[in-house]
Amino acid sequence: MKKFGFIVNPVAGMGGSVGLKGTDGDLYKKALKMGAKSITPKLIEQFFNNIKNIDKITFITAPGIMGEDYLKSNQLSYKVIGHIEEETTSTDTKNIARLLLKKKVELIVFFGGDGTARDIFDSIGLNLPVIAAPTGVKMFSSVFAINSRAAAELIDAFILNNIDFEEREVLDINEDSYSMGILESKLYGYLKVPKVRNLIQASKDASRSGSSYEINKKEIALHIIENMKNDVLYLLGPGTTVKAITNELKLPKTLLGIDAIYNKQIIEKDLNEKRILKILDTYKHVQIILSPIGGQGFIIGRGNRQFTPQILEKIGKKNMIIISTKEKLRSLKCLRIDSTSMEIDDLFKGLISVVIGFKEETVIQIE
C-alpha cells in the first residue's frame, strides 16, 4: 500500500462564482453571505473516481472538512492525524503538512489555490513531492495539475513508478491589490511536483508591454468593435487584451472582472454568476469574449469562475469569441478549459477560431 498525505482547503474557490477575486483571509465569509457554494466536493469526487489504483492507497489526512469527510464518504482507506479549529485557517494547513512530513508519507495531495500552495511550501519546502489539485479562484503558480482528473492520472503514474519530479514555482499574489483589479506577483518558493508537461500547468506569464503588443491589442479591439452586432449583449472577460476593446470604445472596464456591453455601452460591471444568469434570461442573444491566460492557455477556470458550468451550457461554444495577441498564442500549444464539469469541458473541446489581429484569425485546439 502507498501512504499519501491528503489536505483540503475547504474554502478555496468559493469566491469565484460570486465575483470575488479569492477567499484568502475573511473573504470566504463575504462569499458565504453572497450565496457562494463550495466547488471542492465535486472536484474531489472527480479525483477519486478517476484514480485507477485507488485500492493501493492509504491516505493520512486532516480531520473533518480538511480531508477526513471526503475519504469517509468515498469509503477509502485512511487514518486521521492532528486536529483543526472549527473555523479553519492557513495555520491548520501548515500544521497538518508538518505532521505528514513526520509521518513519512510518500507524497502530499492537496486541494486548494495559490494561497494553499504557499502554506504547503512554508511547511515542507522541497522535502516531499506534492500533487496539487486546483480548486481556487486563480491558481497562477506552476505547481498545479491541469484539473482534478489530471491529478488522478498523476497519482496512478506515481503508483506505477512511472514518474519523475522537478521543482516548480509557487507565486506570491498580492491579494489586496488583486481584489482591486491589480495583478502583482512575485516568486515565493518552489515545490517538488511531477514532471509531466501535459498534466501540469505552467505559471501565468506577466502581461507584456511595449508598442508592438499595444498595437496588436488595438488591432484586435478594432476587429471586435467592427464586428459587434446591434442588440447582442457581450460579456467581456478579464485581462488587458479584452480591456483594449473598452479602451477603444472609451468605456470603463473591470480589469479582473466580467462586464456587460450592449449596443457598445456598458450596462453592468464586475458581474457574478447570479447576475449573469439573470442577463441570460433577459437578453435573447449573448456572446462572451475571452482571452487565454498567458503561459497557461486557460480560457475558463482561472480567474473567471463566474462563468459556471450552468452559464457555459446556456451560452454554448458557438457564442464564445476568443481573442489573443500573436505573441501570447505562439507560446501556447493549445487552449484549456477547467469549468469543474467534465461534461461541459467536453462540449467545448475541439478546434476554435482565435482573433489575433484586424481581420486576422487562426485556429487552435481546446483540450
What DSSP character marks residue 205?
P
**Predicted local distance difference test score (pLDDT) of residue 208:** 63
**Predicted local distance difference test score (pLDDT) of residue 215:** 96
Question: Average model confidence (pLDDT) for the chain?
Answer: 90
Kindly report, residue by residue over 119-175, the tens digit of the pLDDT. 999 999 999 999 999 998 878 899 999 999 999 999 999 999 878 999 999 998 766
Q: Which contacts qualify for 262-270: CB closer than 8 Å, 24 or more apart?
A: 262/231, 262/232, 262/233, 262/234, 263/230, 263/231, 264/225, 264/228, 267/233, 270/19
Lowest-pLDDT choice from 170-184, 266-280, 313-327: 170-184
Strands 165-173 and 185-194: antiparallel
Kindly report, residue by residue over 2-29, the tens digit of the pLDDT. 999 999 998 876 655 544 555 555 555 5
Q: How far apart are CA 236 and CA 257, in angstroms?
A: 8
**Percent of the chain predicted with pLDDT > 90:** 78
More confident residue, 332 or 204: 332
User: Is the CA virtual torsion 278, 281, 287, 291 positive or negative?
Assistant: positive
- Name the strand (E) or helix (H) holding 78: strand 78-80
User: Is the CA virtual torsion 64, 6, 14, 41 positive or negative?
Assistant: negative
**Predicted local distance difference test score (pLDDT) of residue 270:** 93
pLDDT over 70 at 344, yes or no: yes
